[in-house]
Amino acid sequence: MQIALFGATGGTGQQVLEQVLAAGHSIKALARDPAKLSTREGLSVIQGDVLDQAATDSCVEGTDAVICVLGTTPGSEPVEAAGTERILAAMDKHGVKRLIAVSSMGVGDSIDQVNFAFRIIMNLTLKRIMQAKAEQERLIMASDTDWTIVRPGGLTDAPASGEYRAGLDKSIKAKRVSRADVADFVVKQLADRSYVRRAPAVS
């Protein structure tokens, strides 16, 4: 498959990139700074910003599926909602239906799956980012794409363990999970339609 990847230079995005390529797929990645992505077989890097509709269109054109791992660095303006709006427009323009987007536990109807302490942090320091993720999810759910929203718990840089829980069961609580394990679940969704138009948690 040819995959359009947004957020490839972030921690989770890098894990997704590596595992998508390892699975034998090819990637078109949009990056503001292509130098952050080393050249390798199967990877085509397009310089640009997700907020630039033309650049986003170019990344999506000719692909079979889109993986969105957009994130916001501290102190920056959240891009999750605005970027996703442009991705959805590009998908509609080029007839691409499959979308896998990484959001977060604590968004939408997963709020009860995070503990009280994290809810306080969400309201005090992550409020704008969580609002952007909530709007991102709303836009995706309102689209006619074959979407899957992946909601991970607290992300770590630990190596892949394969020992994570994933699914729709509300008993899955937000615990630490490696970016590598989240990427493993994301990549599996390319061939698995069990969670189309669903928002599974990963923890």
CATH code of residue 149:
3.40.50.720
Residue 16: in which H helix or E strand, if any?
helix 11-22
pLDDT of residue 92: 98
> Could you give the CA distance from residue 188 to residue 46 in angstroms, rounded to a whole number?
25
In order of 69, 90, 110, the CA distances from 36 in angstroms are: 16, 24, 33
Task: Decide if 79 contacts 177 (C-beta within 8 A).
Answer: no
Instruction: Out of 23-32, 124-133, 140-149, pick the least confident.
Output: 124-133
Helix axes 179-188, 11-22, angle to 10 degrees: 50
Report, as an integer, the average pLDDT of 169-196.
95
Total-model pTM: 0.94
Q: Which domain holds residue 125?
A: 2-202
Q: What does pLDDT average to over the chain?
A: 92
How many residues can be counted in the chain? 203
| Number of domains within the chain | 1
Q: Is the pLDDT of residue 180 over 90?
A: yes
The residue among 171 and 148 whose pLDDT is bigger is 148
DSSP type of residue 180: H
Question: Torsion over CA of 137, 20, 94 and 107, rounded to 10 degrees?
Answer: 0
Buried b (16+ CB within 10 A) or exposed e, 152-176: bbebeeeeeeeebebeeeeebebee
pLDDT of residue 154: 87
pLDDT of residue 128: 74
Residue of 42, 51, 58 lying closest to 1 (CA atoms): 42
Task: Decide if 136 contacts 84 (C-beta within 8 A).
Answer: yes
Chain segment 53-73, per-residue pLDDT in tens: 999 999 999 999 999 999 887
The token pair at 125 is 């320091």
Report, as an integer, the average pLDDT of 129-143.
92
